[in-house]
């Protein structure tokens, strides 16, 4: 038997069972976008469990924690519905912060409270400037273009004898 370990997808997935059978286990409510997925479910028992046969389809909303296990040879087709959201701005902000010399300039620990407050205010102002410099619309458009130009994946299916 083979399958996928416990995880969640950031995109909505429609799984269509093509051949064989696959058991699916769903856990809890969908995770919010950008949340990491632990390697093991926090719930002891799945919220739902069922088996897909050829021709069956399953709708998995983005963030739905799940795992699946094939019963022998199995193949499903995953139709992915992309979600591009403002979270792409976090990636851009992280890059800007890592490259910004003003934000990386350490304040000496021996300075007094007034200097600390002034430095904190300087960091706060610079952080606002960096956030304001991000064009979220442009980032979303770039993300969509990157995904549209992805190369198709080729695979082979063979029946076990």
Other CB atoms within 10 Å distance of the CB of residue 64? 21
Q: What is the pLDDT of residue 152?
A: 64
Which pLDDT band, with edges at 50, 70 and 90, does 150 fall under? Answer: low
Which residue is associated with the tokens 């021709």?
Answer: 55
From 65, 60, 63, select the one nearest 78 (Cα to Cα). Answer: 60
Q: Is the dihedral of CA 74, 77, 81, 86 positive or negative?
A: positive
CA distances 30 to 9, 44, 56, 108, 132, Å, are 10, 16, 22, 44, 31
Residue ranges with strand state E in the chain: 3-7, 12-27, 48-52, 57-60, 65-81
Contact present, 33 and 63 (Cβ < 8 Å): yes
What digits encode the pLDDT tens for the residues 25-80? Answer: 999 888 887 677 666 666 678 999 999 999 999 999 988 999 999 999 999 999 98
| Mean pLDDT score, 96-120 | 78
pLDDT recorded at residue 155: 61
Confidence at residue 59, expressed as pLDDT on a 0 to 100 scale: 95
Phi, then psi, of 35 in degrees rounded to 5: -80, 135
Average pLDDT for the chain: 82
Q: At residue 148, does pLDDT exceed 80?
A: no
User: How far, in Å, CA of 26 to CA of 68, rounded?
Assistant: 9
- pLDDT-derived band at 81 (thresholds 50, 70, 90) equals confident
Task: Take residue 76 and report the two structure tokens written for it.
Answer: 């499903």
* pLDDT higher than 80, residue 153: no
């Amino acid at each position: 038997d083979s399958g996928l370990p416990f995880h969640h997808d950031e995109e909505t997935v429609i799984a269509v069972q093509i051949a064989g059978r696959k058991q699916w286990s769903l856990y809890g409510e969908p995770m919010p976008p950008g949340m990491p997925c632990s390697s093991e479910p926090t719930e002891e028992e799945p919220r739902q469990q069922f088996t897909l046969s050829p021709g069956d389809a399953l709708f998995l909303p983005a963030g739905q924690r799940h795992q699946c296990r094939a019963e022998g040879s199995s193949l499903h087709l995953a139709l992915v519905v992309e979600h591009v959201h403002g979270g792409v701005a976090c990636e851009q902000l992280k890059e800007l912060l890592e490259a910004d010399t003003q934000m990386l300039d350490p304040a000496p620990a021996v300075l007094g409270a007034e200097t600390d407050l002034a430095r904190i205010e300087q960091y706060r102002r610079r952080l606002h400037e960096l956030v304001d410099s991000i064009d979220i619309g442009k980032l979303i458009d770039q993300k969509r273009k990157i995904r549209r130009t992805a190369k198709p994946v080729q695979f082979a299916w063979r029946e076990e004898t």
